[in-house]
């Protein structure tokens, strides 16, 4: 059963990773096009900054969710390194639960923001303003799912790697 759960979450996060690659490529393309049009042809696009912002928010929220699953986020490990392995495990579970609560809060409140903005549109692109908050809801949900996966799979840093995430 654990193998099936791990396979599913590996697959979901791999898809999110490919979406991040695509978003980053589109973002770079839009910014390069905007710089060329503004400074070479003296005819900038009106919508490029809004679309770049939208893509950047999507990229950021998906990347954070992936980092939660892989434990590649930054960690200050001064206390963690001094704990015994059983205490490290308890701390990992506590941190995962706190991140889960935070992720659910982001997702729920993003839904409220989407309801508030309703049918409003972004001024330059004309896209629905809700699209600016949708990545918070999707990213928060993926973060929560990844926290649950880490808890179910007993998937924590330090079990094999000897560190608590990306140390600073």
* Closest residue by Cα to residue 20 from 70, 62, 65: 62
Residue showing tokens 């392995």: 85
Q: Output the CA torsion sign for 129, 131, 135, 138.
A: positive
What pLDDT, in 10s, does the model give residues 67-79? Answer: 999 988 777 778 8
**3-state SS, residue 127:** coil
What pLDDT, in 10s, does the model give residues 140-158? Answer: 999 999 999 999 998 777 6
Distance CA 108, CA 127 (A): 22
Distance CA 129, CA 50 (A): 10
- pTM for the full model? 0.86
The alpha carbon of residue 31 and the mean position of all alpha carbons in its chain are separated, in whole angstroms, by 22
């Amino acid at each position: 059963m654990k193998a099936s759960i791990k396979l599913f979450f590996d697959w979901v996060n791999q898809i999110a990773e490919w979406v991040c690659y695509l978003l980053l490529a589109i973002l770079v393309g839009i910014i390069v096009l905007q710089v060329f049009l503004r400074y070479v042809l003296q005819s900038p696009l009106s919508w490029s900054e809004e679309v770049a912002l939208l893509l950047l928010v999507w990229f950021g929220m998906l990347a954070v969710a992936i980092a939660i699953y892989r434990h590649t986020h930054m960690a200050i490990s001064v206390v963690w390194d001094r704990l015994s392995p059983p205490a490290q495990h308890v701390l990992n579970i506590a941190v995962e639960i706190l991140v889960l609560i935070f992720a659910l809060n982001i997702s729920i409140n993003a839904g409220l923001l989407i309801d508030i903005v309703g049918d409003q549109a972004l001024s330059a692109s004309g896209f629905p303003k809700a699209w600016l908050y949708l990545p918070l809801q999707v990213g928060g949900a993926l973060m929560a799912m990844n926290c649950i996966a880490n808890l179910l799979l007993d998937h924590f840093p330090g079990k094999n790697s000897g560190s608590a995430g990306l140390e600073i």
